Every structure is written in structure tokens, then in C-alpha cells.
Structure 1
Amino acid sequence: MSDELLITEHIIMSKILLIRDQKVIIDSDLSLLYGVENKQLKRQVRRNLERFPEDFMFELTEVESEILRSQIGTSSWGGNRYKPLAFTEQGVAMLSSVLNSSTAIKVNIEIIRVFTKIRQAISENLNVRLEIEKIKKKLINQDKNIELVFSYLDELIDKQDNKEERTKIGYKH
């Protein structure tokens, strides 16, 4: 990345939200990252709606907008007249085709890299969890086997204790 572009991975990560069980970035955050006005970004998207199916981009509902506004702490006075747009990883990638600035392309590359890192981290986390579950199952089975061995030992000890003295047969000296 060039010196004039100071968008860090941390900044991008802070803009990624989980909405409708999808990792997304809101249009206003994207416009800040790209260095364009939000209305310009939305205009370009609206002109190219066929490039943005619902799994690439969706408009937030009133309830989602309110929750977002309360989380961010912005005023309901002024601001956007339209509900925010949420862009998934694929939608962010598609934005580079409708926003033709070099800054947008460079920022897009960094955003896609961050999304990829998140996906890898989730995958690695899942693999670790699966390995832990395998170990737990083995330990549970070993615990059951140990309990069984102790149960058999207890039975043997009980039999030994309850054994009656038999008279010995054979030669006596």
C-alpha cells in the first residue's frame, strides 16, 4: 500500500459488523474508507443495481437502522434520509467495478484481505474446536473404561472377602 493511503487492518476490522448473520460494512463507512461522499457511492450502486444482488448488498430495515444508530451513538437529527446499505464481502468486491478511483481499488484490496483473514480465523477456530471435541470423547471413553476396571476389581475383592474356608484335602503332615 502506498504512503498516502493510511487505512490499517484495524480500521477496516472496526468497520465490519454482523447483521443478519453476515459480516458486512455499511455504506457510510465504505464511503469514508474510499474517500468519496456517501451519496456518490449510493448513486453509483443504484445505477448498477444488477451487480448487487441481495447476497452482495441489502438495505437495512428501520429496526436495524435504529439499532445501528443507537450503537454508534449518532443523532437522529439530520443524517441520512435513506436507510443504510450493508455490503457483504462480495458486494465490497463488486464496488471496485463501479467506483473507478485508484483509492477505491486499493482500499478494496485491503478490505478483501481482511475478510479473507477473518474467514481463515473462523475456519482455524472451528478446526481447533473439532479437535478438542475428539479429545473430550476419548477422555470420556477412557473414564468409562477405568470405571469398568475398578468395578471388576471391586467385584473380585468382594468375592475374595466372601470366600468361605474350605477344608483342605490331600495329605496332611
Structure 2
Amino acid sequence: MGADLATLYEVPTKRFNEAVKRNAARFTADFMFQLDTDEWEALRSQFAASNAGRGGRRYRPFAFTEHGAIMAAMILNSARAVEVSTYVVRAFLRLREAAMQHKDLFERLSSLEEKTGALAMLRDTFSRDTRNQLRQV
């Protein structure tokens, strides 16, 4: 939930929510969604929450996917949010470097897949032709 991410990124929840609202176009449905009433009630029953109308949360909270959590880190300006977004960018760079280092392995696997596919097509064609010949006899 947004309050949890605000805590993680060391910003007040109010400021976190303001930043998300200002950048709403960055948070598509696959990045963030609002809990429905049943989900929120089930979640509220799991922890001690104030009664509706007596303080506390007045609206259903938003939940963030892992992509939404990363996007939130990128729009915030706290030191922790900058640290998290930098970590994520570096992880993707390392992943790309690893893929480039093993490019020859990727090409060999692709070649094997092509050969396996060609063999499967030959097997299917041979089996079909053999079945047809046996039916004619």
C-alpha cells in the first residue's frame, strides 16, 4: 500500500500520495490499483484499525505492483527513494551486460532450437506419410 511505500522511501504518507497524484499518468492499472471494498474490509480485519467514521483512513487505499513501487521511487526525491531507483537501474545494466557476455551461448541455443524444430517437422511429415501409405495397403 502507499503508506508502506512511503515508509520504505522515508517520506510522509501525505507527501507520497501527493507525488503519486501529481504523476498519475505514470501509474497505469498494471502499476497501481485501488482495493475494492471487500479487499479493504478483509485487510482491515487483519490488523487493529479504527472504526469507519471515527478517524483513520476515509478511503480505500491504493496497492502498487513491483513496477509501481519502482516508479514511485523514481518520482520521489528522498535520499532513500533515489538510492532504490539507482539500485534498480544498476541491476538492469548488469543484466544487460550479462546477456551481452553470453551472446554466443544465446546464438547456439537459437541454432539448436531451429534444428530441433526442423527435425520435429520432418518427423511429423514422415509419420503422416507413413500412416497414409499404411492406410492404402
TM-score calculated relative to the size of structure 2: 0.56
1:39 is matched with 14
Question: For residues 5 and 61 of structure 2, what CA distance do their matches in structure 1 show?
Answer: 11
1:94 is matched with 71
Higher RCO (CA-CA < 8 Å; seq separation 6+)? 2
Question: For residues 87 and 7 of structure 2, what CA distance do their matches in structure 1 show?
Answer: 14
Q: Check 1:93–1:56 CA distance in 2 against 1; reply closer, same or farther (3 A cut).
A: same
Q: Counterparts in 2 of 1:142-161, with a 5 A limit? A: none
- Matched residue SS, 1:72: coil
Equivalent of residue 83 in structure 2, options 81, 90, 106: 106
Question: For residues 58 and 49 of structure 2, what CA distance do their matches in structure 1 show?
Answer: 14
Equivalent of residue 73 in structure 1, options 48, 51, 72: 48
Instruction: Give me the identity figure in percent.
Output: 45
What RMSD in Å do the two structures reach over aligned CA positions?
A: 2.2
Residue 109 (structure 1) shift: 6.5
Q: Check 1:58–1:109 CA distance in 2 against 1; reply closer, same or farther (3 A cut).
A: farther
1:55 is matched with 30
Consecutive unaligned residues of structure 2, counting only runs of 5 or more, are: 90-137
Residue 81 (structure 1) shift: 1.9
Question: For residues 42 and 82 of structure 1, what CA distance do their matches in structure 2 show?
Answer: 13
Question: For residues 111 and 75 of structure 1, what CA distance do their matches in structure 2 show?
Answer: 36
The answer on whether the counterparts of 1:92 and 1:108 sit within 8 Å (CA) in structure 2 is no
Consecutive unaligned residues of structure 1, counting only runs of 5 or more, are: 1-25, 113-173
**The structure with more strand, counted as a fraction of residues:** 1
Amino acid at match of 1:49: A
Residues 21-76 of structure 1: CA deviation (Å, up to 9, x unaligned): xxxxx111111122211121111101111100010000111211111111122222
- Larger CA Rg, structure 1 vs 2: 1
**The structure with more helix, counted as a fraction of residues:** 2
Residue 108 (structure 1) shift: 5.3
